[in-house]
Amino acid sequence: MEIKKKGASIDAVPTDEAVFPCPFCGSEDIQLQHTWTAAYWVECGGCGAEVSGESYPGDRSENDHILAAKSAIEAWQKRTHRQVRTVPLKAGR
């Protein structure tokens, strides 16, 4: 997973995740997107399909961002559980 610096929050997110390619278009351009808050989603760079994770609107701590990012990645992985290979997760725009 490749994470570009986008605000202060993204630094907290782990960068060693491997994710499944898109189940709809097969794209390997899978991106972890986020807002300023601890709300993340995984988005396909090919067809735009996306899966949101849990949001943590609390104190915006580093831990909240990690939990939110991981929940988005888990949600993506669950939807694509029939896939058998993984690709690198890229940073959002």
| 19 sits near Zn ion (criterion: CB under 5 A) | no
The secondary structure of the chain, three-state, reads CECCCCCCHHHHCCCCCEECCCCCCCCCCEEEEECCCCEEEEEECCCCCEEEEEECCCCCCHHHHHHHHHHHHHHHHHHCCCCCCCEEEEECC
| 46 sits near Zn ion (criterion: CB under 5 A) | yes
Least Å distance, CB 68 to Zn ion, is: 22
Tell me which stretch binds Zn ion (CB under 5 A): 13-21, 25-33, 69-77, 81-89.
25-33
Q: Which of 47, 58, 61, 63 binds Zn ion (CB under 5 A)?
A: 47
